[in-house]
Structure 1
Amino acid sequence: MPTIWELDFYSRPVLDEKGKKLWEVLICESPLDVKQPVDGLFRYSTFLNNTEVNSVKLRESVEAAIARAPAPPDKIRFFRRQMSNMITKACEEVGIPAYASRRTLALSRWLDERLASVYPEMPNYQAGGNPSVLLPNPTPQPLPDALIGEKWAFVTLEATAFDDLSEWAIDFGESFPLALAGLAPDTPVPGLLLFSSRALPLAAWMSGLELAYVKYLSESKPPQLLLETGGSDSWILATLTTAALQQEAAQFEMAKAKAGGIHFIAVQTDPQAEEFKGFWLLAELVLG
């Protein structure tokens, strides 16, 4: 199993002695299995002042984290697109590829913890939001013709069904401990099954996309079911032209909201198949 890190480098709601915002490098390990202990994930943090916001200082921070970690990462994920050039350059200089990704659940939860209990206890804390710079998202693009699924279906599993996920027959995929989401064992977790005679190539292609989440876009004309990937990419899984399909998609969104944004997407050859060519646990996060 590879080692993946999640990284954030941004200003915090705390001022230094000169009245300028402190910046912070946060690095944590991505959990990749439902049974991986959350408490054992590697974490590293360091504060920098605003004159140290550059790729050199960030590279030094990544190097310091590597020196303390049990093992260096195979790749690093980051969600702040406005910091893309600096993060990519710093990581490349260390010899580690960096990818824009919204698959940063462990980092998001850690940031929430620090916003609630760490920064407010620091001198010169500034209450209120610390908004990220918002960048426009590109227009959703159609899937490559050869990868379009022939059928699809919404399904639901209870959270306890994922306890033995590591034992399922899956060719491509990634998961995370549901403890990160704080779900009760009987929480219904919604999902989307894609069926295709080219299921293996479809799953292989999806595995290289940094899958983020599935979303129903009701306001498009006509409404669409989207697969969000990378830092901002969006793919059209299906166009929903009937009221029945739109209602199913709306119910999927409601179930996803009740599950704290947790859901899944899976790829199979047909509805009778017992194995998965691809299976990913997903989380729609509010990243800022």
Structure 2
Amino acid sequence: ACAGRRRQRSQPAAGWRAPGSVALSATAEKEKKPAKQTLQEDVDWSQVSTEWEVDCFSRPVMMDGKKMWELMVTDANAVYRRVAQMKPTRVNSVVVQKLLTIFIEESKVKPRVIRFYRKVMKNMLTVALNTVKDETPMMKNLKILPSRNCHMLRTWLTWREREVYPKMQGFTPVPARRSQSVQASMVQMAYEPLPERLRISRYAISAIPLGALAQMKPGQLPGSLCRIPPGFSDNTPVYGVVILTTRAQVMCSLLGTLELAAMRVNLDTNELIMDLGIDTTYLVNKVAMEDRESCVQFERAKRELGGLHFVAVHDPVTGGEPNLPIKADDMGPGPGCISGLWLCRDYAPVDK
């Protein structure tokens, strides 16, 4: 019943072939020469999103004895993508701002929102993007969101790490991460409890068939829907957390402004945790022993799906039992309709 269209199923955009606009040289900027650049010739501008994602960091390729840096930009649909290679001595907010300005000017679709996820680059990217906003007339209303929710950019970067960098001259494989020592693994983070306005006293672990989620339309419910990783059947259960609260509408409004990134369970400490934005994490509640088994299943299923999970909000008083979608047309006004739905990716294991 769910084998129809895939509105949210993520496909490796155009095979993740290298975009036409690659390697805008930051060295040329230094020498006051026009940087060699070419625009993608096959861009379908009608499909370019106004939500963009940015990353700036070193790559496993040596350039003049030091790691090459890249500035990567993609829209949320991976239709308009740009890459600028940068020498490490030229990595600063001024150069990044100039490159971003070029990418924006050469796009027929201007960004309304720009996200970035890398914590260590937060200051530089914030300065660069604010300068773009202040100095570019068409960008006065640009919304800058430090957020873990850079799903398309992360997918693109993973593809480049596998298919592009190993073929470049100067490629140096990244050494495998060492396993944590016993002493280090015993150190546990102490998270602040949720602010009172976000207080969650009741929740439940449940599952929704992936096929139903894949066919849901953006805007069908308050919340947001990330791209679904390819390669899983429609019958695959996607586990998630159903927040039960009489303040469902208020909760949806708050989560909508706070960049809900993920919910996860620390099975070592039996804590339910909520990730917001780029670096905010709150303790939701201690997991009761009778709920531990369902939380273990939640975490296991999430790992098998590359971190994919959902967060739903429901008012048990006015809505009765929550009516989670089993088919694409299950969500709409009616008895038990949930108030909001977020389809999320938990990147905590790879961001450590």
* Alpha-carbon distance in 2 for matches of 1:91, 1:106: 19
Partner of 2:339: 277
Aligned partner (choices 252, 255, 275) of residue 206 of structure 1: 255
Tell me, yes or no, if the aligned pair for 1:169 and 1:276 is still in contact at 8 Å: no
* Alpha-carbon distance in 2 for matches of 1:10, 1:82: 9
Unaligned 5+ segments in structure 1 are: 32-39
Measured against aligned partners, the alpha-carbon deviations of 1:165-185 in whole angstroms (never above 9, x if no partner) come to 117851x2111332x444332
Change in CA separation of 1:14 and 1:189 when aligned onto 2, cut-off 3 Å: same
Change in CA separation of 1:75 and 1:142 when aligned onto 2, cut-off 3 Å: same
Query: In structure 1, the residue corresponding to 2:160 is in which secondary structure?
Result: helix
The 5-angstrom pairing of residues 162-241 of structure 1 reads: 162-166=213-217, 169-170=220-221, 172-178=222-228, 180-220=229-269, 223-241=270-288
Measured against aligned partners, the alpha-carbon deviations of 1:228-250 in whole angstroms (never above 9, x if no partner) come to 11112112222213x21112111
* Alpha-carbon distance in 2 for matches of 1:167, 1:55: 34
Partner of 2:169: 123
Change in CA separation of 1:154 and 1:138 when aligned onto 2, cut-off 3 Å: same
Aligned partner (choices 38, 53, 56) of residue 94 of structure 2: 56
Number of residues of Structure 1 aligned to a counterpart in Structure 2: 270
* Alpha-carbon distance in 2 for matches of 1:212, 1:8: 17
Partner of 1:24: 70
Tell me, yes or no, if the aligned pair for 1:79 and 1:287 is still in contact at 8 Å: no
Change in CA separation of 1:113 and 1:86 when aligned onto 2, cut-off 3 Å: same
Runs of 4+ in 1 over 6 A off after TM superposition: none
Partner of 1:145: 196
Partner of 2:20: none
Tell me, yes or no, if the aligned pair for 1:77 and 1:104 is still in contact at 8 Å: yes
Query: In structure 2, the residue corresponding to 1:166 is in which secondary structure?
Result: coil
Q: Which has the higher contact order (CA 8 A, sep 6+)?
A: 1
Is 1:70 the counterpart of 2:108? The answer is yes
Change in CA separation of 1:114 and 1:167 when aligned onto 2, cut-off 3 Å: closer
- Compute the RMSD of aligned alpha carbons: 2.4
TM-score, reference length from structure 1: 0.86
Aligned partner (choices 197, 204, 208) of residue 157 of structure 1: 208
Tell me, yes or no, if the aligned pair for 1:212 and 1:229 is still in contact at 8 Å: yes
* Alpha-carbon distance in 1 for matches of 2:60, 2:76: 25
Tell me, yes or no, if the aligned pair for 2:218 and 2:224 is still in contact at 8 Å: no
Change in CA separation of 1:84 and 1:164 when aligned onto 2, cut-off 3 Å: same
Partner of 1:14: 61
Query: In structure 2, the residue corresponding to 1:165 is in which secondary structure?
Result: coil
Is 1:5 the counterpart of 2:52? The answer is yes
TM-score, reference length from structure 2: 0.71
Partner of 2:309: 263
Tell me, yes or no, if the aligned pair for 1:181 and 1:262 is still in contact at 8 Å: no
Measured against aligned partners, the alpha-carbon deviations of 1:222-270 in whole angstroms (never above 9, x if no partner) come to x2111111112112222213x2111211111111112221000011112
* Alpha-carbon distance in 2 for matches of 1:181, 1:287: 21
Query: In structure 1, the residue corresponding to 2:339 is in which secondary structure?
Result: strand
Structure with greater strand percent: 1
* Alpha-carbon distance in 1 for matches of 2:173, 2:106: 32
Tell me, yes or no, if the aligned pair for 1:169 and 1:275 is still in contact at 8 Å: no
Q: Identity rate of aligned residues, in percent?
A: 28
Partner of 2:119: 81
How many Å apart are 1:199 and its aligned residue?
0.6
Change in CA separation of 1:84 and 1:194 when aligned onto 2, cut-off 3 Å: same
Partner of 2:16: none
